[in-house]
Amino acid sequence: MPALDLRKIWRMGLKELRSLARDPVLVLLILYTFTFAIHAVAHGVRTELRDVAVAVVDEDRSALSRRIAGAFLPPYFQPPRMMDARQADAEMDAGRITFALRIPPGFEADLLAGRVPQAQLLVDATAMSVAGAGTRQAAAILRDETAAFLGRGAAAGAPAIAASVRASFNPNLESAWFVAVMQVVNNVTILAVILSGAAVIRERERGTIEHLMTLPLRPAEVMLAKIWANGLVIVAAAVLSLELVVRGSLGVGLAGSSAFFALGAAVYLFAACALGVMLSTVATTMPQFGLLAIPVFVVMNLLSGGVTPLEAMPPLLADAMRLSPSTHFTTFAKATLFRGAGLEAVWPELAAMAAAGAIFFAAALARFRKTMAAQR
């Protein structure tokens, strides 16, 4: 079997880059995906408790109830809105408040009499990202304020051992740090599948695939040219996004090297672009390819471990997703960028991505040969 001609692969790749540069829609998609999309999602998707709307139904109207209401402070909560129970129900039904604290009559008197009064906290659990944290924070406010009111501060009942938690990465636990990096990782997958697949569909729709068959080119050389050209564009865009948007604009303190991340991204893109080419040999038009590709990269992104840990998935599903290169790329990206891990820690992920790439490339090449043969 003759060896692949690297000069032909290089020249075909340059042709792919020129073709991509002449497609303004795809160029704008790349620019948008790695700039505004990351910035908007990082600031728009928050999982920590911040500026949450809360209502207080004060039926006790005592010094203690006013003290509790005044303890709901920024940045966790908005200034509490004082209203009656009917108004609180209506506001919560309309989605304008997330928490409603009802302090019943005689709350302070029962506390001073040595009884255990109860307050009711209504939670809009559809706000999943803040419901749990807000409930814990509200419970802490009730506990601390009643203890302080009775003169039993922290010193009076301090435990013998106190836990002190320090976050080594992202010390302020800003969700934008995590969301921005994961958005870059997810966008690499999306663009890899779209650009590589669109490159093949574009050849077929424009009729240029017949011209390729008249050239002394082997299907493997055509595929490798499309993979390296589109992969190079995505790696460059991802690295620039990490430096200019994630580090620069968002101020995320990444512990790892962008150059090492680019190495892992190149290995992953070999697999993802090969997958895109394989899907393009199944579809015959861009609309068909889009309908086929969307569920593929949506599943790859949602179940890669970036949104939901693999440990939280059913065992069978978790084992199946460990066969996906996106799962290993997510693990690689988090270890490299968040913890500054080196090659000794992430080489299994690189090996798994390379193995998946070889399998996808072999399958895509078999399909691509059939496609080119059918055009003869």
Higher pLDDT, 318 or 270: 270
307 and 355 both lie in a single domain? yes
- What's the pLDDT tens digit per position in 180-212? 888 898 889 988 888 888 888 887 777 776 676
187 and 132 both lie in a single domain? no
196 and 225 both lie in a single domain? yes
Residue 1 counted as domain residue? no
What does the alpha-carbon distance between residue 137 and residue 143 come to, in Å, rounded to a whole number?
A: 10
Higher pLDDT, 31 or 169: 31
With a cut of 80, say whether residue 368 has pLDDT above it.
no
Residue 122 counted as domain residue? yes
With a cut of 80, say whether residue 225 has pLDDT above it.
yes
pLDDT recorded at residue 135: 85
Number of domains in the chain: 2
218 and 76 both lie in a single domain? no
Residue 158 counted as domain residue? no
Q: What is the mean pLDDT of residues 61-89?
A: 91
* DSSP H helical ranges for the chain: 6-21, 24-33, 36-44, 63-70, 85-93, 107-112, 128-149, 175-206, 209-214, 219-240, 258-282, 286-302, 315-321, 325-333, 339, 343-374
Q: What is the mean pLDDT of residues 157-164?
A: 45
Select from 114, 149, 184 the last residue of a domain: 149
Using a 10 angstrom Cβ sphere, with 0-12 exposed, 13-18 middle and 19 or more buried, the burial of residue 169 is middle
Residue 154 counted as domain residue? no
86 and 25 both lie in a single domain? no
Higher pLDDT, 62 or 255: 62
Range of the domain at 142: 54-149
Quote the percentage of the chain above a pLDDT of 90. 21
269 and 249 both lie in a single domain? yes
Residue 156 counted as domain residue? no
pLDDT recorded at residue 160: 41
Domain with 130 in it: what CATH number? Answer: 3.40.1710.10
